[in-house]
């Protein structure tokens, strides 16, 4: 499918930095398309029709869409649409696609890095370096470690391929039951507690949905093994943070690597800041220098193939927007 007009929305400061690169990406992946850029609703030519709108879930997106006829398609720069759903837009008749998989490789690499930091104690040795303290300790060998992955989509499957060379024993949990080389068993989402009880490292890579909100609660955390590690690269509300704080204080799990939180930025008085067994990163697991290029490749692939199901929301054309 060929689009004649495209509207790209972004925060003005980000748009200023990206403009030249975006022009190059349009020329490379969507040649011949007339493109418009807007950093606020007032920059949008009122009444201009657009077949394609590319946008993050901006607070001013509802106002922006009121200035133009209903587009054929909205493509989100994000891999999920939960923040878009919170805007309460009427998207009836509009195809909504996402950038699912755009940063899956980067996030899988982040998870491997988080595991290595914990196993090899790099963060602790860095702290000792600042104190000029020579204090040796025993490190963990990863071969044979039990890795459990909750969510075997774009991120989870890429993590599997990167974990196999380390010699992990790998099991997963997913609403589907895909067969993946290197994964010895896959549990249903309702059996996530079984996976937690089996693994040494529990990685969360699921989208935020009504089913996954609060999925990792006190019951699941209570089944984790002594010395285990929790890594969350999904969404903060997938984990009951109050339950996780209490679990960490009890020593099970022994540690956590957290990139996402219920409230972001993480409040200054949050207990996670002062918990030595927690490694905090500011929602950066999915950042990559190739993000925009990957996204345009996804858009071009969808456009050429009529918006394949790999990235299209199955309910996106059914009713009020999600």
SS3 labels along 142-209: CCCCEEEEECCCHHHHHHHHHHHHHCCEEEEECCCCCCCCCEEEEECHHHHHHHHHHCCEEEECCCCC
How far is residue 75's CA from residue 295's CA, in Å, rounded to a whole number? 10
Number of domains in the chain: 2
Q: Tell me, yes or no, whether 167 and 80 share the same domain.
A: no
How big is the chain by its Cα radius of gyration, in Å? 22
Q: Tell me, yes or no, whether 240 and 114 share the same domain.
A: yes
Burial code (b: 16+ CB inside 10 Å, e: under 16) for 154-177 equals bbbbbbbeebeebebbbbbbbeee
Residue 222 lies in a domain: yes
Give bridge partners of residue 230 from the DSSP assignment.
202, 256
Residue 194 lies in a domain: yes
Give bridge partners of residue 232 from the DSSP assignment.
204, 258
Q: Which residues of the chain have pLDDT under 70?
A: 1-3, 303-322
Mean pLDDT score of the chain, rounded to an integer? 92
Residue 108 lies in a domain: yes
Q: Tell me, yes or no, whether 190 and 297 share the same domain.
A: no
Q: Tell me, yes or no, whether 156 and 87 share the same domain.
A: no
Q: Tell me, yes or no, whether 122 and 261 share the same domain.
A: yes
Catalytic positions: 235, 264, 283
Residue 317 lies in a domain: no
Q: Tell me, yes or no, whether 119 and 216 share the same domain.
A: yes
**pLDDT for res 316:** 37
Residue 315 lies in a domain: no
Domain limits for position 294: 5-102+288-304
Residue 174 lies in a domain: yes
The order of strands in the sheet holding 278-280 is: 183-187, 169-173, 146-150, 201-204, 229-232, 255-258, 278-280
Q: What does pTM read for this prediction?
A: 0.88
Q: Tell me, yes or no, whether 140 and 84 share the same domain.
A: no
**CATH number where 46 lies:** 3.40.50.720
Instruction: Among 280, 296, 312, give the residue marking a domain's end.
Output: 280
Residue 165 lies in a domain: yes
**pLDDT for res 177:** 77
How far is residue 187's CA from residue 194's CA, in Å, rounded to a whole number? 8
CA angle 256, 260, 261 (to 5 degrees): 90
Q: Tell me, yes or no, whether 114 and 262 share the same domain.
A: yes
**pLDDT for res 320:** 27
Residue 223 lies in a domain: yes
Q: Tell me, yes or no, whether 122 and 215 share the same domain.
A: yes
Q: Tell me, yes or no, whether 121 and 269 share the same domain.
A: yes
Q: Tell me, yes or no, whether 141 and 91 share the same domain.
A: no
Q: Tell me, yes or no, whether 62 and 194 share the same domain.
A: no
């Amino acid at each position: 499918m060929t689009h004649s007009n495209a509207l790209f929305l972004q925060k003005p400061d980000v748009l200023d930095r990206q403009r030249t690169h975006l022009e190059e990406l349009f020329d490379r992946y969507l040649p011949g398309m007339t493109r418009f850029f807007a950093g606020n609703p007032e920059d949008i030519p009122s009444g201009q029709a657009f077949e394609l709108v590319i946008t993050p879930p901006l607070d001013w997106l509802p106002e922006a869409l009121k200035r133009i006829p209903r587009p054929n398609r909205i493509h989100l720069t994000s891999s999920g649409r939960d923040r878009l759903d919170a805007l309460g837009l009427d998207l009836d008749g509009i195809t909504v696609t996402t950038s699912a998989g755009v940063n899956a490789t980067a996030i899988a690499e982040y998870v491997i890095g988080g595991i290595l930091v914990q196993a090899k104690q790099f963060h602790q040795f860095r702290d000792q370096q600042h104190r000029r303290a020579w204090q040796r300790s025993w490190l963990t060998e990863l071969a044979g470690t039990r890795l459990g992955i909750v969510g075997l989509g774009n991120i989870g499957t890429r993590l599997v391929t990167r974990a196999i060379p380390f010699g992990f024993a790998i099991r997963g949990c997913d609403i589907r039951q895909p067969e993946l080389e290197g994964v010895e068993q896959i549990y249903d989402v309702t059996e996530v507690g079984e996976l937690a009880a089996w693994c040494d490292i529990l990685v969360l890579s699921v989208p935020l949905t009504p089913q996954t909100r609060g999925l990792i609660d006190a019951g699941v955390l209570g089944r984790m093994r002594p010395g285990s590690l929790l890594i969350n690269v999904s969404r903060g509300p997938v984990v009951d943070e109050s339950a996780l704080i209490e679990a960490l204080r009890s020593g099970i799990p022994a540690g956590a690597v957290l990139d996402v939180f219920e409230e972001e930025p993480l409040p200054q008085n949050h207990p996670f800041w002062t918990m030595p067994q927690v490694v905090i990163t500011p929602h950066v697991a999915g950042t990559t220098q190739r993000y925009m290029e990957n996204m345009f490749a996804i858009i071009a692939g969808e456009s050429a193939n009529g918006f394949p199901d790999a990235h299209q929301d199955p309910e996106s054309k059914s009713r009020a927007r999600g």
